[in-house]
Structure 1
Amino acid sequence: MSKAWHNTNARFNSLIIARDNMKQAEKDLFDKREENYSALMTIFVPIDSVKSQTVATNLKEVIEKTSLIAERHSNSKYLAEAYILLGKSRLLKEDYINAIEVFKFINTTSSNEVGKHSALIWLMRAYTEQKEYDTALKVSEVLRTLDLNKENTRDFYLTKAYLHQKREEFAISAAIGEEALKFMSKSEQTARVHFAVGQMYDMLGQPAKALPHFRAVAKNRPNYDMEFYARMNTLLDEAAAQRGSTVAVQENFKKMLNDRKNADLKDKIYFTMGSLEVKKQNYPKAIEYFNASLRNSKGNSTQNAYTYLELAELHYNQLLKYDLASMYYDSTLTALPKTSTDYERIAKRAISLGDFVKYQKVLIVEDSLQRLAAMNPVALDKTLERVIKQKDDDERKMQEMAQKIVSQNSLPVERLSDKDADFKRWALYDPLVISRNKSDFQQLWGNRPLEDNWRRKDKEAGSISFKVERGIVGQEQPSKQGPPRLSPEEIKKQQESKDALALEVKKKELYDKIPTTPEKLIASKRKQEEAYYQVGKIYKFQFNEPQNATETFQTLLAKFPNTIHEVEVLYLLTLLSENQATSPYRKMLIDKYPASTYARQLLRGNVQITGDTESKAGVVYSQAFNLYSNESYESALKLAEDGLITYTGTSIEDKFAMLRIFLFAKTEQKDAYKQALNEFIQGYPSSSLINRAKEMMAVVDKKL
């Protein structure tokens, strides 16, 4: 009777209420989710504690009711289910630590096998959300050996698919997701899993496997947006499967554009059409469609972000136009939410490209200026005039292009319907009207400064303060007549005089930038040297383009044989060589800079260290230190440098390096001293002498 009483109270006074609240909380979170169909959809809706605040009341009720069961009805058969609901509510609040403790408690104390299995599945989900993927995999290995019921099998497959998706193991995730779908009934959640699995197969380059899943989305009660995107992905995969003409696919896209239901989704349609053209390697058409997507955007910043991203990737990977790619990456970051999984990668690429474009411009500009400096004065004058004219023509063409874009993308005032009467009154919001009226004003009045009484010739009325400011009080010559009318010839002469004066000003600005003196030429070449060095490093480390990196470094050494970056460049060229052991750059580095960190780094792997080597190194170090103590600094320095090279890789290599630093200080070789300190800090981070080196470097920096 006691057990029946506890079961009855646990079920009807607490558990049913907790179940209903959890069900309502999960439904609300699912219905109010914000999906980004342009990015990879996760198997589960991501947990967000901020959004969970909207169902805080439900979760609080779940926690209170399930806690009552644990406190008052601990011998009830519903205890395991109550704890699972409690753990789920903690999980939805992103309280992972307490959620994990609850699920562990059930697994170790409960006698309900189904409840223990469910707790293990939710424990795996909690570890996955906490990004403890290895621990989650261990839990999944335990679950794989258990005899799960149908519901737990479905949840296990879904959670495992989610785990592998988070680990970016898309092939495994998609295969497990397909198994989970066999246990799922028709619902929007099922449609969502089909969509996610289809996306993963697309990412793996398997459109034939993705197609059935995108087609299945429409059969599982999706919302309109999901069905719309699934249909577009279906068209893309059908086009990929055809491997030929895509006329029929493009016709389907055009029908979707003409469908009134898709009026607010035209930007997505054009985006997908552009993606199809990228796959066909028809890049000009792809750019046209992506631009159409941006023009038809209805304020969807996320969609705009991915359109900019496609344009950036296209110009970066296929067209190799890094300057345009840089601008598109910047636009992407402006529109992309910082919570996006791609944000960090795109931000790094944008920074790298920005630096690359900056240094490329330095190379082009300085090269042009140096060529101008080598010209005779007459040729230079003509060249400057030609450059200025070309620049003015380019600016004019850009303005015309901008005006054309404005006229194409802006709705003229006279075309507005009656319902837009309010907008018609505020015509100055229309950029086309602004441009046209500005042109009319300038034709009538010329370029007028923005000031009071701009219409007045002498500005006497209401302009005393302006005259006082300019110190022109009493200098005005009153005139009752207007200015004399000029003949067309006089107007033309005045304009020609103005143009000539403007040209001279522009020529002087350009001339001042030309390295006409030895000092300016040295500074210009120094800029080029640094730019080549930085561009080569970006090619190697950021872009992973070894061929371009090698060519850039070789150009640097050819043009600047005494570059301050020679040591590092020789080292990088050695690493970029196919066979490092026989690389001429390796030999050059070791022969020319044997005591450098880079040379020792190359030698370290080839030196065989034995007990005898260590013993000899100790003897040489003692000899060098004794010479140092006896103030024979030159001899000590030579012995220390020889020992550093000969005994690279020994346990006292760092001591040789530190003694060398002391000797540079004693012989007053300031540049070598600072460089050796830098090399020590970089080359021996685990040395017992590292703190001493850092203290010495701090003193150097303070003096500077």
Structure 2
Amino acid sequence: MIRILSVVLVLLVTWSCSQHSTKPAAVTFHNINAKYNAIWQADRLLISLHNQLVLERVENFANELPIFAPVDSAFGISHKLEIGNLIRKASLVIDRHQNSAYLDDAYLLIAEGRLLQKDYKNAVETLKYINTLTPDTKTQTRALTLLYQTYLIQNDFESAEQAEAFLIENELTGTDYALAKAFEHQQKGEITASINALNQMAGKIKNRGERSRMYFILGQLNERINQGSQAKEAYQNSMRQKSNYELTLRANIAFKSLDQSIPALEKMLADPKNEDQKSEIYVSIGKIYLEQKDLDQAKIAWEKATKNNPNKGELYYQLANLFANQIKDYPKASAYFDSAAISLSNTHPSYVKAQKLKKDWNKYVELASKIQHEDSLQKLAKMPLSDLQTLYKQTQAKKNQRSDSLQKIQAQPQKMVVTFTRRPASSDQQSFYFYNEQARIKGEQEFSMKWGIRNLEDFWNRKNKQNTTISTNTNQTIELTEKSNIPSASLQMDSMDIWLNNIPTTEAKLLASNKTKEQALFELGKYCKTQMGENALARQQLKRLLNEFPYSSFEAEALYLLYLSAENRQEKPNTRNVLFDRFPDSIYKLTILQLETGTLSDTKEVQAEKAYESAYLLFKSNEFDAALRACQQLRINYPGSKSEDKIVFLSALCQAGLKNTVEYEKTLKQFVQLFPLSPLKAEAEGRINAIPKK
């Protein structure tokens, strides 16, 4: 009888503990098993992985640290087993404890494991799913904040805004959200907003190491916008945390650099503990000397930094950022980015960025040089002819003097001839171009096929070097005189005439020079905004364009780019008003309205469609003028509507009906540019091609 009762009791307990049962006993049983078994073990694994991530993280203190440090893909590979165990433990709750209250916690642990693997797609889907489980407020807040953060890491700002709107609407914001918001501002280059957010949250972070790191980032951000006193205070706060030696040392170096205390930095050089950081200290010393206009001492310091730095590419990258962001010497920044792009290994975290910055700053210097060249020519054009001739003769005399000095040095007998023998290259050196014989020979062959046999001289790559008269070579003049018996003075007069011919002394030449300068100023301003993201440089060039060329053909687009790059609250509406007044029918005005209005509601979309139909009926009735006015009003009242492509196309047809060929062609080209996916694009391109060319 006792045995029978025991079996019945076991069966009753087993039945009542089914994971699909909603009875209190069953729910309690599964809650206890889920929380103190699978969830507890998975949570310990996650904490261990996060600690390991901090230990293995290699920070690049020379550059601005991101608020959320990226997870290295190598971490997911090296800790594949631990992350797999974390996900497996959390999955047990989903498999065996469906009725427990910790199902949402299990999914959150799985999502965090996937984030450590950099499996963003599945992590996002898991985080979204948590919100459908009616989780508790704490888990929901953590999940949605992680979702917001994940979108920001991927630079998906549109999705991040939607996640943020849900967080704010449901009052689920907290410390993690505030840090994510600061990170968003940092990603977008909104430094002041990022500083304001970090100032509020840095002191509230519980983990001492992370708190120290946030203060260091706060110092870097303040230093970036030349807020020296605030930066020093932030670096001091970072040092006070005493979290780890490297971060504290870096904060100390940054603090003493802002204090311009060279003796204090030199004292740090003598400390054996700072042996690995000597190159960084020398860079800071060089920076101070440069700010004191002592370029010789700055060069000496940077040379020492190179000797003590096994990674010269990293040093070049630091110096490039220094010249670009703080010293504002852009040609030197471009040269250092060139060196960094060549010297950095392709596995370096800054390699891809260095390649892009090299391209960006090379383009910047190219356009800036073109503007400077035209400015110089126009200044020369204002000088009297006699002064120009004197200037040319003085320049040529200096060139001849330098050439004679060089010839004397070369003519001196050599006391000793040193012969260098190239050592066989090791396997590690084969990647260097000049150590790799096969790569070098192949390069010579490719060069010869493209350019032919060329002498090592200035402007070797010009097809017609007669046009490059400014760089006339004295040695070439002597050689031509000897071969053709032409007097040297005659050749010098010919070269002077060609040089003078390049100076815009006539109205036509001055007009051409101004056109080149106007085009270069616009291209430079546009490139700074759209490609480089340098708002301050973009504003500088665009304002100069509008000041020097008040009726520029690029005025509308320049005003639009100024509006986008404006950071001052007063400057943006002023630029907007000028654009709206000067170009009321401009595509850029409508684009701004669309940016400000956002997505239309369903009711507005219906109204826009009905208004379009009315405008189309006017067009069918050959009332082209009324139809065109209706289309213009439509785009103002309903910017960004789903019918916008049809409205713009109808505007073009109305221009054709009014026999306004110039506006007709202009509107069609704007249509093709704005609506590349429209089904009307092919017809628009066909109409453009059918317009008779003048």
For the superposition of Structure 1 and Structure 2, which TM-score range results when normalised by the shorter chain? 0.5 to 0.7
8 Å Cα contact 1:10/1:78 also seen in 2: yes
Q: Which of the residues 231, 236, 244 maps onto 2:252?
A: 231
State the alpha-carbon separation in 1 of the partners of residues 293 and 549 from structure 2.
33
How does 1:176-575 map onto structure 2 within 5 Å? 176-181=200-205, 183-184=206-207, 186=208, 188-200=209-221, 202=223, 205=227, 206-207=230-231, 209-217=233-241, 219-220=242-243, 222=244, 224-236=245-257, 239=259, 249-275=261-287, 282=291, 284-285=293-294, 288-289=297-298, 292-293=301-302, 296-297=305-306, 298=309, 299-314=311-326, 316=328, 323-324=331-332, 326-328=334-336, 348=360, 350-362=362-374, 364=376, 386-391=394-399, 501=482, 507=492, 510=495, 513-514=498-499, 527-538=512-523, 541=526, 542=528, 543-545=538-540, 548-553=544-549, 567-568=553-554
Give the counterpart of 1:166 among 161, 164, 184: 184
Range with greater deviation from structure 2 (688-697 or 44-53): 688-697
Q: Counterpart of 2:688?
A: 697
Closer/same/farther in 2, CA of residues 349 and 495 from structure 1, 3 Å limit: closer
AA matched with 1:293: W
Deviation at 1:251, TM superposition (A): 1.4
Alpha-carbon distance in structure 1 between the residues aligned to 2:405 and 2:293: 20
The residue number in structure 2 matching 1:456 is none
TM-score by length of 2: 0.58
Shift of the alpha carbon at 1:252?
Answer: 0.4
Q: CA distance change for structure 1 residues 571 and 397 in 2, over 3 Å: closer, same or farther?
A: farther
CA distance in 1, matches of 2:649, 2:98: 65
Question: Structure 1 pair 261/21, CA: closer, same or farther in 2 (3 Å)?
Answer: same
- Alignment partners' CA distance in 1, 2:224 and 2:685: 48
- Structure 2 residue 70 is the aligned partner of structure 1 residue 57: no
- Greater shift, 345-354 or 510-519, is seen at 510-519
Q: How far is 1:507 from its partner?
A: 4.9
Matches within 5 A, 1:138-153: 138=165, 140-141=167-168
Could you tell me which amino acid in structure 1 is paired with residue 368 of structure 2? F
Per-residue deviation, 1:598: 7.0
What amino acid does structure 1 have at the position aligned with 2:180? Y
Task: Flag the 1:397–1:189 CA change in 2: closer, same or farther, 3 A.
Answer: farther
Moved more, 193-202 or 81-90: 193-202
CA-CA distance at 1:124 after TM superposition: 0.8
Q: Which SS does the other structure have where 2:63 is aligned?
A: coil
Q: 2:107 aligns with which of 70, 83, 94?
A: 83
Q: Secondary structure at the match of 1:677?
A: helix
Q: Where does residue 6 of structure 2 map in the other structure? A: none
Contact 2:320 2:333 in 1 (8 A): no
Whether the aligned pair in 1 keeps the contact of 2:319 and 2:333 (CA below 8 Å) is: no
Query: Could you say which residue in structure 1 is the equivalent of 2:434?
Result: none
Task: Please state how far the C-alpha of 1:307 moved relative to its aligned partner.
Answer: 1.5
Report if the CA contact (8 A) 1:536-1:552 is conserved: no
Q: Which residue of 1 aligns with 2:122?
A: 98
Partner of 1:437: none
The structure-2 alpha-carbon separation of the partners of 1:45 and 1:534, relative to structure 1 and needing over 3 Å to count, comes to same
Residue of 92, 98, 121 corresponding to 1:68: 92
Q: Does structure 2 retain, via aligned residues, the 8 Å contact 1:326–1:350? A: yes
CA distance 1:569–1:73, shift in 2 (3 Å): closer
Distance 1:340 1:214, change over 3 A: farther
SS of equivalent to 1:130: helix
Distance 2:143 2:576 in 1: 54
Opposite residue 395 of structure 2, the aligned amino acid is V
Amino acid at match of 1:157: T
Can you list the C-alpha shifts for 1:266-301, whole angstroms capped at 9, x where unaligned? 3322333455567xxx45247853773365231253
Question: How many Å separate the matches in 2 of 1:35 and 1:13?
Answer: 36
Displacement of 1:311 in angstroms is 1.3
Residues 352/14 of structure 1: CA separation in 2 closer, same or farther (3 Å cut): same
CA contact (8 A) 2:108 2:127 kept: yes
Aligned partner letter, 1:390? K
> Does the 8 Å contact 1:6/1:73 carry over to 2?
yes
Offset at 1:259?
A: 3.2
Q: Distance in 1 between matches of 2:588 and 2:138?
A: 57
Q: Mark the CA change 1:8 to 1:322 in structure 2 (over 3 Å): closer, same or farther.
A: closer
Letter of the 1:548 partner, please give it. R
Secondary structure at 2:539's aligned position in 1?
coil
Contact 1:10 1:76 in 2 (8 A): yes
CA RMSD of aligned residues (A): 6.0
Aligned residue for 1:485?
Answer: none
CA 1:530–1:160: 2 relative to 1, 3 Å: same
Which of these residues, 661, 670, 675, is aligned with residue 682 of structure 1?
A: 670
| CA offsets 1:413-472 (integer angstroms, 9 cap, x no match) | x9xxxxxxxxx997999xxxxxxxxxxxxxxxxxxxxxxxxxxxxxxxxxxxxxxxxxxx
SS in 1 for 2:179: helix
Instruction: Flag the 1:24–1:355 CA change in 2: closer, same or farther, 3 A.
Output: same
Native 8 Å contact 2:314 2:340 kept in 1: no
How has the CA–CA distance of structure 1 residues 107 and 552 changed in structure 2, closer, same or farther, with 3 Å as cutoff? closer
Aligned with residue 175 of structure 2, among 145, 157, 164:
157
